[in-house]
Structure 1
Amino acid sequence: MTFARPDHICDLDTLPRMPAWVTSARAETPEDVAFLSGAALNHLHVVLGQSNVPQALLRDRLALQAAVACVGFSVRPERAGELRDAVHLLRPGDLPGPAGETCLTWRRAVERPVSIKALGRALPAFEPGQIAAWLDAGKGLPVTRAVMVLEAVLREVPRADVAGLILADAALAQALGWDHVVPLLAAALKLAALRKQGDDLRLACHRALISSAIEAVRQAADLARRAAHLKAVAPKLRAKGAGDAVEMFLTRDSVAPSALPLPDRAARRLCDRLVDLGAVRELTGRDTFRLYGV
């Protein structure tokens, strides 16, 4: 698959939308589904090449959505807000619980460039040699490669859905020349699809990638606009450490005031100021233990 060069797209006004013939098409045959998934991935590749898209923030938000989907596989009730709490409101010595651990696993998987070492950090239950062997199982075109990795993991460890999906996304990223894992498969695959094999699993993954690539492009455009606004209002912030705080908001799905490089009261005032400026949102709806994000 040959990807279009993104060099001609450089600002928000020209950040391209997914073509309507991709978003509205009803593909019936496996060939049509594969064609549309390739087109959707190609378009996402172009969008991810733009400097105005906050890449780390997008990956972190997609990681949260992947974690929500994976937690849902176990019929657990946690949604995005609860997973944010599980990660950000931990006290020293506390354990995040199964749902929180799933969220942390996905976040670790997208933080660093794809490598066996980085994947081993995200998946410490598996030896680096095993992770490398699974990735080596993927051959051929990008989606086929990802599917083969997913099959290899689930064949050896049948309930390792999170590891399988992370490594499948890693294989896809490597095949497409992306530096980091971009969570795509988990959010759009049903649990029943993960129990399929061969052509049936490949078809399910192609369908999932159409849906998830469309959503990733939409989120990239939305976050690019929000990030541009945050950068525009940043000079109005006078608090010492405000620049570092802004950088945290530009790279993380959500931030607790206590995590900002400011004293507690100053951090809360900064968050309130950013909300007043329309640059960040309060995500919890609570009066205490609040979380904020772009």
Structure 2
Amino acid sequence: MKHALTPLDADQKTLPPMPGWVTSARNESLEDVAFLSGAALGHLHLVVARADVPQTLLRERLALRAAEASVAQSGRPERAADLRDALHLMRPGDLPGPAGEIYQHWRQAIERPISVTALHRALPTYSKTELAVWLGGPGAGQGGPVGRASSVFEAVMSDHPRAEHVALLLADAALAQALGWHYAVPLLGVGLTPRDLRKTGDDLRLACHRAVVASAIETTRMAADLARRAARLHAVAPRLRAKGAGEAVEMFLTRDAVAPSALPLPDRAARRLCDRLVSLGALREVTGRDSFRLYGV
């Protein structure tokens, strides 16, 4: 029997949540968890195609979370607020530091459509040949998208045992590529735990499937929240009178955080615009500071 399905985009005002039987399942076998990860990815596949979800901003938020996880896994103390400061308050000629560099890698990896050239831009330490071998090496076409991502992760870790964030970044690129997505979406980078990073074979595949389920659930929730916030920003945009306000709005919709100095307005006008959008409920000040502030949707 064929069941009628309501298209996910039938009502652009409502982003359906992940099905309850996916979010509440507690299966342990590889077969069961693989089924759940497939269902979660199928739902997420529709979410990342929705026009009302600010997709670039969604990837930016996930890149920040993946970078925070990678930095913590490396034993460094920096967290999300520190990573934002490292990049968004960096002046020309400054270096982002080790933690900021990891965040920079993740941001650059999600900025452009997946290709060896784009990944080389994000990870210039590694040659294009090496990157191409990892993405297209043995096992790249086996075991479905998650199996392929697991194989890529294992191959990178075999060659560079301490390059965890590089392996995660390339595994997420391989996963997205296998799913037919144009851009990498940090899922394994967010979902795999430090303990998972030392696993191999079936244990690693099981961990990857679990990570995909958890990350897909969280990403769907984040997408729904960002869709609401983006709709609010679009709604108040016509009230803005400052020259360059339209371009500023687009920046807020594509970046995790923005410093007023980065906006296409004079400094004082940029600060006024940010304060105005906060008062209208369309932006948040994300640092809690009185100076060197950053704003985001």
TM-score, normalised via structure 1 length: 0.96
Structure 1 residues 272 and 211: alpha-carbon distance in aligned structure 2, compared to 1, 3 A threshold: same
Contact 1:257 1:291 (C-alpha < 8 Å) held by counterparts: yes
Instruction: Please state whether the residue corresponding to 1:14 is helix, strand or coil.
Output: coil
For the residues of structure 2 that align with 1:166 and 1:186, how far apart are their CA atoms? 7
Question: Which of these residues, 188, 191, 194, is aligned with residue 188 of structure 1?
Answer: 191
Letter aligned with residue 231 of structure 1: H
Q: CA deviation at 1:191?
A: 1.4
Aligned twin of 2:177: 174
Contact 1:109 1:166 (C-alpha < 8 Å) held by counterparts: yes
Question: Which of these residues, 138, 141, 165, is aligned with residue 139 of structure 1?
Answer: 141
Contact 1:6 1:47 (C-alpha < 8 Å) held by counterparts: no
Aligned twin of 2:243: 240
For the residues of structure 2 that align with 1:107 and 1:221, how far apart are their CA atoms? 21
Q: CA deviation at 1:6?
A: 9.2
Matched, 1:286 2:289: yes
Identity %: 67
CA displacement, residues 128-168 of structure 1 (integer Å, 9 cap, x when unaligned): 01100100021221001101111111111111111111111
State how many pairs are aligned.
290
Contact 1:146 1:172 (C-alpha < 8 Å) held by counterparts: yes
For the residues of structure 2 that align with 1:15 and 1:8, how far apart are their CA atoms? 7
Matched, 1:164 2:181: no
Structure 1 residues 161 and 81: alpha-carbon distance in aligned structure 2, compared to 1, 3 A threshold: same
Contact 1:12 1:224 (C-alpha < 8 Å) held by counterparts: no
Unaligned runs of 5+ in 2: none
For the residues of structure 2 that align with 1:154 and 1:236, how far apart are their CA atoms? 52
Alignment of 1:103-122 (within 5 A): 103-122=103-122
CA displacement, residues 95-117 of structure 1 (integer Å, 9 cap, x when unaligned): 11110001111000000000111
Alignment of 1:4-19 (within 5 A): 8-19=8-19
Aligned twin of 1:151: 154
For the residues of structure 1 that align with 2:29 and 2:196, how far apart are their CA atoms? 17
Matched, 1:29 2:32: no
Aligned twin of 1:93: 93
CA displacement, residues 208-246 of structure 1 (integer Å, 9 cap, x when unaligned): 111000000000000001001100100000000000000
Letter aligned with residue 96 of structure 2: P
For the residues of structure 2 that align with 1:199 and 1:160, how far apart are their CA atoms? 21
Aligned twin of 1:260: 263
Matched, 1:83 2:86: no
**Segments ≥4 residues shifted beyond 6 Å:** none
> Which deviates further from its counterpart, 258-267 or 189-198?
189-198
TM-score, normalised via structure 2 length: 0.95
For the residues of structure 2 that align with 1:73 and 1:151, how far apart are their CA atoms? 17
Aligned twin of 2:275: 272
Unaligned runs of 5+ in 1: none
Contact 1:149 1:168 (C-alpha < 8 Å) held by counterparts: yes
Letter aligned with residue 171 of structure 2: A
For the residues of structure 2 that align with 1:283 and 1:101, how far apart are their CA atoms? 21
Q: CA deviation at 1:28?
A: 1.7
Q: CA deviation at 1:199?
A: 0.3
Contact 1:40 1:210 (C-alpha < 8 Å) held by counterparts: yes
For the residues of structure 2 that align with 1:13 and 1:233, how far apart are their CA atoms? 17
Aligned twin of 1:63: 63
